[in-house]
Structure 1
Amino acid sequence: MPKLFGISLFIVLLGLAILKTSASGGQQKKIRQKREWIIPPRKLKENYAEYQRWDSIAKIRSDEETRTSIRYSLTGPGADSPPINLFTVDRDKGLVKIHGVLDREETPTYHLRGVAKFLNGSYAEKDIDLIIKVEDENDCVPVLNFTTGSVPELSARDTFVTKITATDADEEGTLHTKISYSIAEKSHADMFYINRETGQIFVMHNTLDREKKDTYTLTIKATDMNGAPNGFTGTGTAVIKILDVNDNIPTLEKNFETKPVISP
């Protein structure tokens, strides 16, 4: 009986060993089939020349290179289509380099594809997406449109006159495009004020008098970074015409000659 028990135990242990070996082998096979970027793609700053000194900004790799030679290449705008060779890859090592300074306002995103082939030209992998997002730098000055408006003389305070708008080519939704408006001339600030966030212009006091001044030319300043001292400032013009209202009493200015009256 002990001998039979020992044989049974040996068979059980042998079976477990075979299962473990099989599972391990399956796991190794799965690992060998894995395809990956060794260095993940990263965001790159615009106007930053130092990237050109780096050995690489990313690296592509095929697991097939562990058993045979692989040739790497890049395709897409910025690689094999304009701007050609802004990005290149070492055909043997898979190191991706950059050869120019990026401008987000020109191209905010580059969608490249990494290609891995065997020496006979057949594909070793499916092409791998390499998307490079260009990070914004505050390098654009706000641009204001020319604006005209009109308002009746003697209008009450807070009467809406017109609205001026600034555009900024930097990235939307950031402080780089958060505009703060102001009126440059202090003398006109007594007659009008501007909403610093919306660019809407309103009457300051009810003392506008067309007979004294019928047109105001305002210089409007637009500063990004929400008006911070380190923001860029652009200027524009708003011309406001004062409309006449019937506020003057007519006067008779004709002169009459006095003639003697002759009796019949």
Structure 2
Amino acid sequence: DKRFDVNMDGTVTLKRPLTLHEAYEVFSVHAWDANGKKHTIESPLDHPPSAFSRSLAGLKRAKRGWVIPPFHVPENSRGPFPMKLVQIRSAFAKETEMVYSITGEGADQDPKGIFTVERLSGNLFVTQPLDREKKASYRASIAESPMEILINVIDQNDNKPVFTQYPFNGHVHEATGKGTCIFMTVTATDADDPETYNGIVNYAIVSQEPPFPKSNMFDINILSGTIRVREPDMDREQWPRYTLLIVAADMEGKGSSTTGTAVITITDSNDNPPQFEQTSLSVSVPENKVGAVVAKLTVSDGDEVGSPAWSTKYRIISGDKGGFFNVSTGPSQLEGIITTVKPLDFEKTKQYVLSVIVENDDPCINYFPTSTATVTVNVEYVKEPPKVKVISKPKDSTVDTELVTYTATDDSLFIFLQP
């Protein structure tokens, strides 16, 4: 369309007066990138433009006029200032002398004085460097017309990413498998335009301490900052904590950057089953005593002290059919205490062979043989005090009168006659 001209910055201007016969008109603008690829955009003129002409009676609005497309100004320009941005021209500037003025943001409204226009030439100037992060666009208009001027501030990569925390803290179970768990996220913000590479942040892990059992135990999503386990075989007992040095950079990871840390605490999984320190012992217990302490079985456990993977519980699995014994966890949580709950009888059973197992409150993550202790309980005979039976003889009984008959089973029975 020979009525329009396109400048190198993408600004579209009129080459000659334009009359719109409809409410809008659409034209296409083509651009080619460095690789020769063609890009096309359709831009509508959706309002009939207006024009001004000067007569002896002063400024008058005409039915035809100009089109002022949005234009773009890079932020952080070094000037010199005032710096010319564009020339605003009426379609009838050749026919009559025009007077120009602007109103709106950056002109006569806050922030005031950023843009000025020469009355007769229509040259629009910016008086100072612009900051997109403070204000990304300005809307002004020709004072004599409702025609709007939109000034967009082009982003420069003048802000580097900033981490939202320092450090980031996360936790992960030592038994977590490869790539199965996203357990924490690091985030960084960038004040630049999020729609451009200037404001899009990429993440990368720079180092890991300690570097064991492998130097790349974790990986990070380059765009989201989520961290997950990359390699299995974490061992809390050897390496309870990792510190990752993370870099966040804009411009697809090639621009401005900053560093932060992620501290990862490895939480305990039950990968160390409890073990009896003595797996076989023989004890003696007196008969007829209830609540007697039979044995104290100590164990060891390599998991985190105080955790369910470390605390223990016990069971008698054989040798106590009559239910004479009980085993409970001692105050130290690493001790099983066997006591009698029924009186033992030497005459009935002289020996018990108990099998006792120990387990954790949390089940083990893998199969491990259960530790078992064998306790041989020998029942001690306790000689009972002699039994005394007092028999009263009736007054009218004769010498040969039979009072009562006893059959002796042991020598602990004494009989006394009472007249």
Taking structure 1 as the reference length, what is the TM-score of the superposition? Answer: 0.70
Tell me the secondary structure at the aligned position of residue 222 of structure 2: coil
Question: What letter is aligned with 2:173?
Answer: P
Question: What letter is aligned with 1:134?
Answer: V
Tell me, which stretches of 5 or more residues in structure 1 are unaligned?
1-29, 117-125, 255-263
The residue that corresponds to 2:154 in the other structure is 135
Change in 2 beyond 3 A, CA 1:44/1:56: closer
The residue that corresponds to 1:180 in the other structure is 202
1:53-89: CA deviations, max 9, x gaps?
544533254748945x654322112111222100011
Question: What letter is aligned with 1:35?
Answer: G
Taking only aligned residues, the RMSD between alpha carbons, in angstroms, comes to 3.4
Question: What letter is aligned with 1:76?
Answer: G
The reply to whether residue 249 of structure 1 matches residue 281 of structure 2 is no
Tell me the secondary structure at the aligned position of residue 72 of structure 1: coil
Q: Confirm or deny: 8 A CA contact 1:41 1:57 kept in the other structure.
A: no
Q: Confirm or deny: 8 A CA contact 2:208 2:244 kept in the other structure.
A: no
1:174-201: CA deviations, max 9, x gaps?
2223322111214454221112232121
Question: What letter is aligned with 1:159?
Answer: T
The residue that corresponds to 2:104 in the other structure is 76
Equivalence map 1:1-264=2 (5 Å): 33=62, 34-36=64-66, 41-50=70-79, 52=81, 54-61=83-90, 63=92, 66-67=95-96, 71-116=99-144, 126-146=145-165, 147-160=168-181, 161-187=183-209, 188=211, 189-228=215-254, 231-251=255-275
Q: Confirm or deny: 8 A CA contact 1:51 1:98 kept in the other structure.
A: no
CA distance in 2, matches of 1:165, 1:55: 40
Q: Confirm or deny: 8 A CA contact 2:249 2:257 kept in the other structure.
A: yes
CA distance in 1, matches of 2:158, 2:194: 13
CA distance in 2, matches of 1:193, 1:163: 11
Q: Confirm or deny: 8 A CA contact 1:72 1:91 kept in the other structure.
A: yes
Q: Confirm or deny: 8 A CA contact 2:82 2:125 kept in the other structure.
A: no
Taking structure 2 as the reference length, what is the TM-score of the superposition? Answer: 0.46
**Higher Rg of the two aligned structures:** 2
Paired positions, count: 219
Tell me the secondary structure at the aligned position of residue 252 of structure 2: helix
1:136-172: CA deviations, max 9, x gaps?
1111111222233211113211132212222222112
Using the TM superposition, name which of 170-179 and 52-61 deviates more.
Answer: 52-61
CA distance in 2, matches of 1:84, 1:53: 14
- Percent identical across equivalent pairs? 35
Question: What letter is aligned with 2:205?
Answer: I
Question: What letter is aligned with 2:234?
Answer: L
Question: What letter is aligned with 1:163?
Answer: T
1:237, distance to aligned residue in structure 2 (A): 2.5
Q: Confirm or deny: 8 A CA contact 1:154 1:208 kept in the other structure.
A: yes
1:252, distance to aligned residue in structure 2 (A): 5.4
Using the TM superposition, name which of 99-108 and 196-205 deviates more.
Answer: 196-205
Tell me the secondary structure at the aligned position of residue 143 of structure 2: strand
Using the TM superposition, name which of 157-166 and 133-142 deviates more.
Answer: 157-166
1:212-256: CA deviations, max 9, x gaps?
22222222111111122xx111222322221111111324569xx
Change in 2 beyond 3 A, CA 1:249/1:64: closer
Change in 2 beyond 3 A, CA 1:78/1:139: same
CA distance in 2, matches of 1:247, 1:213: 14
Question: What letter is aligned with 2:81?
Answer: Q
Change in 2 beyond 3 A, CA 1:53/1:220: same
- If asked which structure has higher relative contact order (CA below 8 Å, sep 6+), I would say 1
Q: Which of the two has greater helix per residue? A: 1
